[in-house]
Structure 1
């Protein structure tokens, strides 16, 4: 009798905890007026929990059942909302600060399938050839079916130099592709730059971290101090998965003097806000071309959308990822956490980024240009002035002494020669140079 009373009391206590957890997580306790439907659903939940505790073939872990229920509840809202145990909550903070060992990819859940948003430049995944849109079906010997996002992240991170096997399926590839990747420290450096031609700078932003704004200012000052200032800038946001909202806003503000940058609109008033640009002492009136592709997401799309709508930059490349929602992270008791969507992003002209992305002004597919052998035409074989007998020779002018170039490059420096063979970069550079030529013709 005492045993049955103890069991009944324990079940009642577990059910009470379950109800309290659900009320706390869903926000019913203070902000939502519960109705009959809500109470009926909660009663159904507690009935199921009690039934399983009493009659399931094996003893059940009540806490695990409740956690799984919360995980399903939050995870079914959208791909970017999740319930996180303590380990996952701690690792979330590594994404914007600190250093960690992994393979270097940003992933999301797309239609409940683990999908690559983009590889991070200079990491094992990037170097091995993992691509945006790859679907990860296995991590080592574990299937990713029904795997939570944080679980996948946890499996791919680990000790430096240890190998992890990633199996992906890729569009237009008949068989799965396996990648054996040796984990490495993921570089926190998010900005690099170089001069493609005198006066024409290149700025590569790989993600938006806590130090990105300061890094960009440093790189811009260096570029702007060369060759009597910049005539044009290429800002490369390709395969940039995003990051911190405040960094995207402040970086956009570097190139804007007024107007809206981005607005976020949520169901609650406190989750609705408009971020504006303000005048600056820096005079950055040079033309800008922004490069985007399918791996450009979130904060990248905010910058591209703001500069496009404000007619401050020309956008070139392919349509971006389309991640236009805002998440907040809320700590819970016992070091658990919850990440959930509170609003959507809108560009200055009111365009929603969500599931649409930023469409480029000029669409150019990625391609590595190769030098083609020039075939001599009939016209090339025609006699020229220099072929005529006793023709005047060209006047010889003294050539300036060539400065020997240092060929050794630092590992993290840009290879500007290689960028010249990038079709999107080359097109952007041609546009900037043409703009300068036409500006002179128009006398501006």
Structure 2
């Protein structure tokens, strides 16, 4: 049975509060600039590499709050967790870009950093001093590698649950094939957790083909422009061997772009449940411009876009089960992940 998916209806004040955390203009001092630039680049050689430690962060009063940590990257290997605050690097205030890259250089001039750096990280009332060597890599490749590093299988009772954190969705043919192979490898699992929290990227219909048996059930789209035009029409056809077992999908306020549409469509299946908090409602495109030879990304909201005859921009997807997990929460355990496991165990 197809379940109706509800969109978040929020007040104007709520929209303003959400967008206050996501500036409509990004320059090379913002870590998000390198993420979006790398995903929008037409070729691998155009993706800008930078030295980084594999975190997403939000600026706070005493430093930068860690909102996500990429599996297998320096911060993860050093034990930095979501909810930690990075206060300083080498006795200087931490900056997510310029603590590891020369601020005097243009973004395309960054070079690999071969030195370890001393970070002061606060967790609750405790401080840690950690030595980290950044990686020099574009964030498209980092997100792809972290996705591969995230794959798990674990037993709960006599059931096996698979897990994958899709840090980014890509329309690259190699990435689509890789994801298809991953889902095939997890096909023996009794249930699957697809973690889309803090994810970004661009949806392709082939992503949905991994789970659906027929494209005729995909969402209707009107008013599409830019990167969304390739999704505006879908041809109904049978799909070979999709994943047919229960799925729990995790989303949060930093689930942006293609991953939001992925979760929205999955939520139409009766064997899929979504958990977490409402997604960003950010389906527009970023346009690259240069101001005084400085590259800047400007966000173009998809205000005219309708998904199944309803607006999505600035509203996002409301999950079936709301589970709060504030970034400031430093207690052990992940209540959203635990809720996903419990939801699957109730159905498999």
Q: TM-score, normalised by structure 2?
A: 0.60
Instruction: Name the residue aligned to 1:182.
Output: 133
Q: Does 1:245 align with 2:202?
A: yes
- Does 1:431 pair with 2:339? no
Secondary structure at the residue paired with 2:310? Answer: coil
> Whose RCO is larger (CA < 8 A, sep 6+)?
2
Distance 2:20 2:151 in 1: 41
- Tell me the equivalent position of 2:273: 314
| Contiguous gaps of at least 5 residues in structure 1 | 1-74, 370-421, 434-444
Look up the SS of the partner of 1:302 in the other structure.
Answer: helix
1:20-419 alignment, distance < 5 Å: 78-84=22-28, 93-94=37-38, 101-107=51-57, 114-132=64-82, 134=84, 136-143=86-93, 151=98, 154=101, 159=112, 162-167=115-120, 173-174=124-125, 179-184=130-135, 187=142, 188-189=144-145, 190-191=147-148, 193=151, 196=154, 202-208=162-168, 209=170, 210=172, 211-224=174-187, 232-237=190-195, 240-247=197-204, 250-256=206-212, 257-261=215-219, 275=232, 278=235, 279-284=237-242, 286-292=244-250, 294=252, 297-298=255-256, 299-309=258-268, 311=270, 313-316=272-275, 318-319=276-277, 322=280, 324-332=282-290, 336-344=294-302, 348=308, 350=310, 352=312, 354=314, 358-361=318-321, 363=323
Change in Cα spacing, 1:312 to 1:329, as seen in structure 2 (3 Å) is farther
Q: Which structure is higher in helix share?
A: 1
Give the gaps of 5 or more residues in structure 2.
1-18, 104-109, 326-330
- The superposition leaves residues 236-288 of structure 1 with CA deviations (integer Å, 9 ceiling, x where unpaired) of 315x43232135x541343233345586979xx66885645553422436233
Counterparts in 2 of 1:291 and 1:119: CA distance versus 1, 3 Å: same
The two structures have a TM-score, normalised by structure 1, of 0.49
SS in 2 for 1:341: strand
Change (3 A) 1:244 1:289: same
Contact 1:194–1:223 at 8 Å: present in 2 too? no
Q: Which residue of 1 aligns with 2:8?
A: none
Q: Which is greater in Rg?
A: 1
**What residue number does 1:37 align with?**
none
> Which has the larger strand fraction?
2
For residue 126 of structure 1, report the CA deviation from its aligned partner.
Answer: 2.2
Change (3 A) 1:270 1:160: closer
Matched length = 291
